[in-house]
Amino acid sequence: MERDGALRRPALFLAALVLLSACGCANRVAAPPPAPVSARPPQPASIPPAEPAVSPPLEPAVTPPPPPAVAPADRAFASGVSAMAEGNYERALEMFAAAWKESPGHPGVARDFPDALSGLKKSGDEAFRQGRLEEAGRRWSAAIRYLSHPAEKGKPLPFTKAELQAGIDKASVALMEKGLVEYRKGNLEAAIAIWKSILAYDPSHAEAAKSVQTAATQLENLKKINPPK
Summarised one tens digit per residue, pLDDT across range 4-57 is 444 455 455 555 454 545 444 444 444 455 555 555 655 555 666 666 666 667
For residues 194 and 192, what is the distance between their CA atoms, to the nearest angstrom? 5
The HSE-up count of residue 14 (CA atoms within 13 Å, CB side) is 4
- Residue 164 in 3-state DSSP? helix
Q: pLDDT value at position 65?
A: 73
CATH number of 160-229: 1.25.40
Residue 135 has pLDDT above 60, yes or no: yes
State the average pLDDT over residues 123-134.
Answer: 97
Mean model confidence pLDDT for the chain: 83
Q: What are the start and end residues of each CATH 1.25.40 domain in the chain?
A: 160-229
